[in-house]
Every structure is written in structure tokens, then in C-alpha cells.
Amino acid sequence: MILITGGAGQLAKEFQRFFKKNSIDFLAPNRLELDITDFDKVRDYILNNDIELVLNCAAYNLVEAAEEEKDSAYMINAYAVENLAKICKEKRIEFVTYSTDFVFDGTKDSEYTEEDEINPLSVYGRSKALGERLALEENKRTFIFRVSWVFGEEGKNFIEGVKTWANTRESIKIATDQVSSPTSTRDIVDITWKILNLRDRDYGIYHISGAGETSRYEQGKYILEKLGYTGKVLEGKCLDFTSYDIRPKYSKLSSKKVENILGIKIPSWCSRIDEYLKVGKTYLITGA
Ligand SMILES: NC(=O)c1ccc[n+]([C@@H]2O[C@H](COP(=O)([O-])OP(=O)(O)OC[C@H]3O[C@@H](n4cnc5c(N)ncnc54)[C@H](OP(=O)(O)O)[C@@H]3O)[C@@H](O)[C@H]2O)c1
């Protein structure tokens, strides 16, 4: 039995669709059903349900709010992750968890690789970075997938935000000074599953990100054009929307490691957004 934590999240839902389609047994409790910060309950749940793999999709993702809610961010993104890794070690099972491009400071001018030094600028980034370290220290059989700008069906994501603005605003301002790459939950699930099914296990950190890079502004404009939006699209800066200067200016993750291991090419972020906007289309990652 596979446990997917944070069952109501967008990545967790993609795993559920994938497992249903492939007739794989899973449990996907939402936060109310299994709060990952309830350490004892989590241990009982994993032991009593004979869990053989944990996919931790639960996370505290509110980047700005985390500056005020440090305890929650650290508890969910670091200490609960450590606890999950520890229980998996006790049960001698593999542990998978997800991290973020926000562990980097954004000063590099080329794609971030798994070997690059981390230097998070925010509480969110630091809490995720600590979760990575504690999980790897606790359980050698841990996979950490760093992902960026995630979007998936039924998710609370940037594309859905843009759709709402398109329906309610005559002009839309979006930041030009944040560059990375949108990443589809379908690619994250597909790659996670392929890595987990390799015969030779190479635990540790992997980056997954849609091919290409873009600013939030360019991404927003791309979506608005597809939606046929006729209002104005204005260039802004991150600091027009928040007083916290904590988002890396550039955080594109290099996916070369997973692409080389699996012999695949992750499709471009725009092609995945095209598919997302016509929800329901199935697609496969093409072989290299
Ligand atoms: N979304 C992004 O753009 C992005 C970017 C980089 C990395 N990531 C990482 O990718 C992974 C998947 O993210 P996602 O986009 O699927 O996130 P998501 O849609 O926000 O889902 C996270 C889920 O975790 C749940 N959760 C929060 N605290 C919990 C707790 N204590 N116990 C159990 N569940 C809890 C949330 O429930 P509530 O909604 O009820 O709180 C939510 O359903 C995460 O590790 C995230 O940090 C995401």
C-alpha cells in the first residue's frame, strides 16, 4: 500500500489519478484525516496500514505568509518530514518528498543543478532546505525531488489565478523579475514513478522542471493570449505586490540529471500549459 500525504493538494491528486489508472493501491488522507505534524498518529497510520512507500505531497507553500508563520512552516516542511523519514527507516521502506527552487538565492545566471550550493532567502525556502537535510540524514533511502512553479488539474496555482484575473480585471500587472519554469504535476508524477522503478537505486536529490524558462510576466501573457484576454497586461516587479524581497530572481532548475538517467526529454512549459488549458488530454514524455 502506498501512502500519499496531503491528499487534497495538486500533486497528491495527480498521483491519485495515476494510481487509479494503473490499478495501484494507495491511501491519500487529506490534512484533516492525517496531519503530518501529529507525529504519533502518523507512525500508527503507517504501521497499521502496512505502508510500503511514502510519497510526501503535504507542504506549507505560502511563501510570504511563512515569514510571519515560521513555526508552522518549519513544523510542516522540516520536522514532519524528518519524522516521516524516520518512520520509513524504522519500517525499512523508501521515502519520497518534494522540495523547491526557492532553496536557491537566484544569483546564478544559468540553470541550477543538484550540485549547486543552496542559500534560501525566505523562511519557506529555509524550512524546505532543512526538511531536505533532515530527511537525508534520517533515512538513506530518501528521494528528494525539487520542483518549480507547479501546476496540476484542480490545483490552486498561477494559471488558475491568471484565469480569475482575466475574468475580473481590465488590466493585469505581473512581475518581470522572477524567472524559473512552470512544471506540470503530470511530469513530476511520471518521473517520480520512473525513478522509483529503476533497478539500481540512487537516492538523493533530483530536479524536475518544465523545459525552457520564463518570467511570471511572460508566463502570464502567454496564458492570457491563449484565453483571448483583451485587457492590458502591464509589467511589474515582485515588490509591487509584497514588501518581502524574498523570492529568487532566477531559479530555473536543470532537469539534465533525470533526463540523462531516464533517457527522456521533459516537454516545454508552454506545451504543458497548452495541454492544461485543454484539460483532459493525455500525453507521454517523449524518449530521447
Ligand atoms: N505549488 C508550487 O508552485 C510549488 C513550487 C515548488 C515546490 N513545490 C512543492 O511541491 C510539493 C507539492 O506541492 P503542491 O503544489 O501539490 O502543493 P499544494 O497543492 O499546496 O498541496 C499541499 C497540501 O498539503 C496539505 N497540508 C498542509 N499542511 C499539512 C499537514 N500538516 N498535514 C497534512 N497535509 C498538510 C495542504 O492542505 P491545506 O490546503 O488544507 O493546508 C495541501 O492540500 C510540495 O512539497 C511543495 O512544497 C510546490
| Cα–ligand 1 centroid distance for 145 (angstroms) | 14
Nearest CA to ligand 1 atom 26: 58
- Is residue 241 situated within a structural domain? no
Find the domain containing 121 and state its range.
2-153+183-209+252-267
Total number of domains constituting the chain: 1
Tell me: the pLDDT tens digits for 14-36? Answer: 999 999 999 999 999 999 999 99
Whether ligand 1 lies within 6 angstroms of the CB of 10 is answered as yes
Tell me: the pLDDT tens digits for 38-82? Answer: 999 999 999 999 999 999 999 999 999 999 999 999 999 999 999
- Is residue 160 situated within a structural domain? no
pLDDT of 279 = 62
pLDDT of 154 = 80
Whether ligand 1 lies within 6 angstroms of the CB of 147 is answered as yes
- Is residue 132 situated within a structural domain? yes
Marked catalytic residue, from 45, 112, 124, 276: 124
- Is residue 239 situated within a structural domain? no
pLDDT band at 201 (very low <50, low <70, confident <90, very high): confident
- CB distance 76 to 123 below 8 Å: no
- CB distance 38 to 62 below 8 Å: no
Q: Residue 207 above 50 pLDDT?
A: yes
pLDDT > 70 fraction of the chain, expressed in percent and rounded: 97
- Using a 10 angstrom Cβ sphere, with 0-12 exposed, 13-18 middle and 19 or more buried, the burial of residue 191 is buried
Q: Ligand 1, from 150, 153, 219: best to mutate by most atoms within 8 Å of Cβ?
A: 150
Which is the closest atom of ligand 1 to the Cα of 102?
Answer: 6
Phi, then psi, of 94 in degrees rounded to 5: -80, 150
- Is residue 58 situated within a structural domain? yes
Phi, then psi, of 175 in degrees rounded to 5: -75, 135
Cα(127)–Cα(137) distance, integer angstroms: 15
Whether ligand 1 lies within 6 angstroms of the CB of 59 is answered as yes
Tell me: the pLDDT tens digits for 130-143? Answer: 999 999 999 999 99
Residue of 162, 164, 163 lying closest to 175 (CA atoms): 162
- Using a 10 angstrom Cβ sphere, with 0-12 exposed, 13-18 middle and 19 or more buried, the burial of residue 199 is exposed
- Is residue 285 situated within a structural domain? no
Tell me: the pLDDT tens digits for 87-138? Answer: 999 999 999 999 999 999 999 999 999 999 999 999 999 999 999 999 999 9
| Cα–ligand 1 centroid distance for 222 (angstroms) | 25
Whether ligand 1 lies within 6 angstroms of the CB of 57 is answered as yes
Q: For position 142, which CATH number holds?
A: 3.40.50.720
- Is residue 17 situated within a structural domain? yes
- Is residue 178 situated within a structural domain? no
124 catalytic? Reply is yes
- CB distance 66 to 127 below 8 Å: yes
